[in-house]
Amino acid sequence: MCILSPPLRVAVQQTGLFGIIVAMLLPFGCNRQTNVTVTGTVVRGGQPLKVGPTGVLQITLKPDVGEGEQFTPKTSECDRATGKFVIPDVRPGKYKVGVQQFDPTPQVDKLNGGFLPDKNKIVREIDGKTPLTIDLDKPE
């Protein structure tokens, strides 16, 4: 949040329309980071994982934050046929990536929890520009 100094606040108040325009533009100059949409594909050996008709391939992005810091993971389902995913509204930065394959039922992770965000070495820098390729055979 930007805080105007008292002289700047008075100047904004006295300048009418110009002040309104300046006030509207201020949030853009305060180092506010814009969230991005992350796209990518989950594969194994370069090929999409085979997911049954009732199965779900799920990807999780967990911010790579320090011990005790609060975070909100982002989760999305991948397309069953292609492994492609889209995760909107993600803050750019470093993330631990998790993959679970609930197949044939939502209770059974066919990957046995081996690719949970804290149990593997998949870490990616998220910028919203570069699509991610998560190859479970090459996790690093």
Q: Is the pLDDT of residue 106 over 90?
A: no
Greatest CA separation for the chain:
66
CATH class of the 36-135 domain in this structure? mainly beta
Q: What is the pLDDT of residues 26-64, one digit of tens each?
A: 445 555 679 999 999 999 999 999 999 999 999 999 999
As a whole number of Å, the end-to-end CA separation of the chain is: 37
Residues comprising the chain, all counted: 140
CA atoms within 13 A on the CB side of 56: 12
pLDDT at 17: 43
Reported as a single tens digit per residue, the pLDDT across 72-105 is 999 999 999 999 999 999 999 999 999 999 998 8
- Give the residue among 91, 104, 107 at the shortest CA–CA distance from 35: 91
Judged against a pLDDT cut of 90, whether residue 24 lies above it is answered with no
Task: Give the model's pLDDT for residue 48.
Answer: 95
pTM above 0.85, yes or no: no
Candidate from 8-22, 45-59, 90-104, 110-124 with smallest mean pLDDT: 8-22
Domain boundaries, the chain: 1-32, 36-135
Note the pLDDT of residue 22: 41
Compare 6 and 110 and report the one with higher pLDDT.
110
